[in-house]
Structure 1
């Protein structure tokens, strides 16, 4: 019997399903070095994680860039990333068991990512994960990247789930803000930033190092993470 209020987990991909943000940062550094620009990796991540490639290109290389120009630049940067990360491609600890248990409990599953189509194929198909998801929403499906809520709202719609019954899994402040704007609770994975980077968000219900630390029913009950768990996740 189908639940009248189906529940859903919506996963960011980069830094959440896979612990790859260091490789994205390395590829951005190399990409900008080719153009004579230096970036601070930590500041760059905080300012851009969750934004779409064309948004980043226009911010750092000029707002006058055409769609065709940004598409070529995006392709160059993402090819660099895939070359760097391919030998290391694997899911975050506990993820495979976590989604298997969620499916057994009739939780709908979605991916909502700022990644371009080629990177979604690289990750989800490279790890044979796509078959588990009821919806996959990427940069090509929405006009605006995070912190706008578009990608999460579309994922919920495609799952047939109301925002208040969705929990988002994220590793970046812009993503958690997008979840907040969508009216969704969030779980933070500290794959990339420490717990204190998310202290301002009142929609965060749990902070964890990986998926092995998470309990599905406790998450839907909305229990905030205990202080000692947050400290351990740092």
Structure 2
């Protein structure tokens, strides 16, 4: 049986620019950093504490401080993005068709539950997914395969039957490390930035092409 595993940010919703703004506000505004947009884009993957360590060093903040700063960043993000919150074009039809076809689906994201719930509940799409793996459920972030392996385990499907939907090279690398193929949504990275990754089935800017119907029907 096929199964579909979805990253969240940049893959289901086109929100990475809002995350970048929130990180910029936190890192440069609140913490006095001097990070360029390219710096922010390069570092904002994985768990929030991992991002802060990469940007400020491992001894800058205590664990309690990082938890507080992490929530500040997510509150900045949610407040700015909520008025624009929507699924990427074609995705809801794709989810509905996959659900009707009996294809099990899960979310495998480096986001914390607070942000995953923000999306699932505000868009009323929780019913499409049989499992969710968040940052709180794994020890090691992407490109480690733990996120997608746990999602497959929760769905009780073989890794060989999983198709991962991602938007960033680190996520596609995580899928490769899990032994899974990927479909890339090009919201945040160009096709050229995935050079060297050999597990990619298809690139698309959204979920409207016929390719996605074929995934369900094949």
Shorter-chain TM-score bucket reads over 0.9
**Paired position in structure 1 for 2:56:** 61
User: What do the CA deviations read for 1:46-101 (whole angstroms, capped 9, x no partner)?
Assistant: 3433x111111122222133332211111111111111101100000000000111
- The TM-score, its normalising length taken from structure 1, stands at 0.87
CA distance in 2, matches of 1:158, 1:214: 29
CA distance in 1, matches of 2:151, 2:140: 14
Secondary structure of the 2:179 match is coil
Deviation at 1:214, TM superposition (A): 4.8
1:16 pairs with 2:11: yes
Deviation at 1:213, TM superposition (A): 1.4
1:181 pairs with 2:177: yes
User: What do the CA deviations read for 1:142-185 (whole angstroms, capped 9, x no partner)?
Assistant: 11111111111100100111111000001111111111101100
Structure 2 residues without counterparts, runs of 5 or longer: none
* Aligned length in residues: 216
CA contact (8 A) 1:171 1:188 kept: yes
**Paired position in structure 2 for 1:229:** none
1:111 pairs with 2:98: no
Secondary structure of the 1:211 match is coil
CA distance in 2, matches of 1:214, 1:68: 48
**Paired position in structure 2 for 1:195:** 191
CA distance in 2, matches of 1:66, 1:35: 14
CA contact (8 A) 2:23 2:40 kept: no
Deviation at 1:211, TM superposition (A): 0.6
Structure 1 residues without counterparts, runs of 5 or longer: 1-5, 223-234
Give the one of 69, 72, 78 matched to 1:73.
69
